[in-house]
């Protein structure tokens, strides 16, 4: 971590396939951290700020206006002490990240979690395949320095990675 970022608080990206526990981990980290951290659920942020071009009914997802999203996040990230929680990470500039945490989950547990969310079958299948193929992990490893990318299993709500 650079001395500049350590004086203002880290920028942590928590990423993973939908259903791997990103928001849960981010909220726990905010609660347990000895330094103040702000959690931004990027998907909710996009909806709240209208940072999307359209909504796809079939996939039940937004097409994000990436330029506007980055413009909105830049001053928040520049201040430091923030956790960005999103299903993808390659969009965020490498200079932003002090730590990139990729949460992983066994695909059968992931399937159950996504079914409970009411995802359409097609979306469950696509996300499950992405988890099996390590899409998000590969994305993180190709976008950021190896030293700051950490892969963690997230399969049980009772055991958290936050204390690790």
Reduce the DSSP state of residue 129 to 3 states and report it: helix
80 is in an annotated binding site: no
81 is in an annotated binding site: no
β 149-153/61-64 pair status: unpaired
9 is in an annotated binding site: no
Please state, in angstroms and rounded to a whole number, the distance separating the CA atoms of residues 65 and 54.
Answer: 9
21 is in an annotated binding site: yes
DSSP letters, 54-109, are EEETTTTEEEE-HHHHHHHHHHHHHH--EEEEES--TTS-GGG-SEEEEEE--HHH
Please state, in angstroms and rounded to a whole number, the distance separating the CA atoms of residues 109 and 27.
Answer: 21
22 is in an annotated binding site: yes
Query: Scanning the structure block, which residue is given the tokens 């201040």?
Result: 79
117 is in an annotated binding site: yes
Please state, in angstroms and rounded to a whole number, the distance separating the CA atoms of residues 155 and 84.
Answer: 21
Residues annotated within a binding site:
19, 21-24, 117
Residues annotated within a binding site for ATP:
19, 21-24, 117
């Amino acid at each position: 971590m650079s001395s500049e970022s350590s004086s203002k608080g880290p920028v942590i990206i928590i990423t993973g396939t939908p259903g791997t526990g990103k928001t849960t981990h981010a909220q726990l980290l905010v609660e347990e951290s000895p330094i103040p951290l702000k959690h931004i659920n990027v998907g909710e942020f996009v909806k709240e700020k209208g940072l999307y071009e359209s909504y796809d009914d079939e996939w039940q997802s937004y097409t994000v206006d990436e330029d506007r999203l980055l413009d909105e996040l830049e001053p928040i990230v520049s201040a430091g002490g923030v956790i960005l929680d999103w299903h993808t990470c390659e969009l965020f500039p490498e200079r932003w990240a002090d730590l990139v945490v990729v949460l992983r989950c066994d695909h059968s547990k992931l399937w159950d979690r996504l079914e409970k969310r009411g995802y359409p079958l097609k979306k469950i299948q696509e996300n499950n395949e992405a988890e099996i193929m390590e899409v998000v992990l590969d994305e993180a490893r190709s976008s950021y320095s190896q030293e700051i990318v950490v892969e963690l299993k997230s399969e049980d709500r009772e055991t958290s990675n936050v204390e690790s």
